[in-house]
Amino acid sequence: MIVARPEAYRQYPVGRNRFTLVLEQRFSDSFRIEPPSRYEAWDTVTAEPSRSLTDVLRSGIPQDCDVLVVARDDRLLTAPASEVGPHRTVATLRAGTGPLALDQLGSLLASLEQADPDALGRTGTALGDAVAAAGGLVLEETLTESVAKMTFTTPTWSRTDTGIFRPGAVQSAPAGLQRLDLASVGTTVTGQIAVKGWSVVRTRAPGTATCQELFEKLSGLSHYPLVLTIEDGAVTDMKATETGSATAAAALTQLFTTDPGHTEVTGLEFGINPAAPQLPFNSESNAAGTGRAAASVHLVLGSLPLTEFQIVLDCATSSLTALGGTAPLAGAGTAPAGQGPRRRMNRVTAANCGCH
């Protein structure tokens, strides 16, 4: 039995008096709510097969309500902003598949309790200030001798998410990441970047089998690095180091051939949430989590909705420094003092699609 403790979820805005936990039917017997003093009323809604989140929101969930959705079905993980309404706060947790699915959901619920939005805000501000003062960035990986340089006139942040759930739109949890725009005018990206770690695949068409298939083919990067050569902000070549990363390289090559827009390096995403676990399925937690660093670094390829996918590739073994600097700003070498190994769930029988 997994216990949901809405009292502990500091991500929701203060002042609401009702909480609703929406469960896909397959999980309805696996959760219970610990009665909170923060809310005057709370309840659990079970979503039967084939129902969408829009259906559920229309079925009597109050407009002035905090909502947490736990589901595997894509139809329950997204809804138009017009259906959410300006006063309702809706966050979703995507479930994986296989025998560890409930363990993984328990980890995600625990991460909501442990995350401190105020601390994430301070981390995000400090990172933003450091990047602004850098004048350019260098991403370097020692083992593969990969080095890439990124220059910009003024850093532009295309996404700033410090862990707060805001009313008016469906948001994925856990939260806590920032995206530096690398596709804006005056920005250059050139060199080689080693990607290694769990990826995130986002898509403009939720529920597509190709999204799941692509994530599965990239899953070998959790153990084996792939080196991308980038010229003028686009991937021009790839070098696999092992069979696992060769599968990922073949999948990316096919995608690049189908739509060259996916070769475009559109951003660097920084995970700033130390409570978000790294999981072996297509979870936004993989992008938001810091891993073993103070802030993780991810390379972003493609741009929704211009391309079918947006691919977020972890650079877990790379270190990011200011141009001309030596102290790492994010990535390898920034692990907090005294931090031990993080628990990683590496067993998986089937990957699930994390389309949003």
Look at 198 and 98; give whichever has higher pLDDT.
198
Q: What is the pLDDT of residue 224?
A: 95
d(CA 61, CA 301): 37
Q: What share of the chain in percent tops pLDDT 90?
A: 85
User: Strand pairing of 188-195 and 226-231?
Assistant: antiparallel
112-143 tens-digit pLDDT: 999 999 999 999 999 999 999 998 999 999 99
* Burial class of residue 341 in the structure, from the number of CB atoms within 10 Å of its CB (0-12 exposed, 13-18 middle, 19+ buried): exposed
Q: What is this structure's pTM?
A: 0.91
Check pLDDT > 60 for residue 343. no
The mean pLDDT value for 314-343 works out to 84
pLDDT of residue 339: 54
Residue 338 has pLDDT above 50, yes or no: yes
Q: Which residues contact 325 (CB under 8 A, 6 or more apart)?
A: 134, 138
Average pLDDT over residues 45-71: 95
Q: What is the mean pLDDT of residues 145-158?
A: 95
Task: Compute the C-alpha angle 179/277/115, nearest 5°.
Answer: 75
The pLDDT tens digits of the residues spanning 218-236 come to: 999 999 999 999 999 999 9
pLDDT at 287 over 60: yes
pLDDT on residue 355:
43
What would the pLDDT profile of 262-274 be if each residue is shown by its tens digit?
999 999 999 999 9
Domain ranges of the chain: 2-95, 117-331
The values of phi and psi at residue 187, to 5°, are -105, 135
What is the rounded average pLDDT of the residues 163-188? 94
Whether residue 260 is predicted with pLDDT greater than 90 in this model: the reply is yes
Least confident stretch, 44-53, 272-281, 331-340 = 331-340
Backbone angles phi, psi at 91, to 5 degrees: -125, 145
- More confident of the two residues 336 and 33: 33
Mean pLDDT along residues 309-318: 98
Residue 191 pLDDT exceeds 50? yes
Work out the mean pLDDT of the chain and round it to a whole number.
Answer: 92
**Which of 124, 118, 111, 89 has its CA nearest to residue 8?**
111
pLDDT at residue 354 is higher than 60: no
Average of per-residue pLDDT across 305-325: 96
* Residue 337: predicted pLDDT: 64
Inform me whether the pLDDT recorded for 155 exceeds 70.
Answer: yes
If one compares 356 and 309, the residue with the highest pLDDT of the two is 309
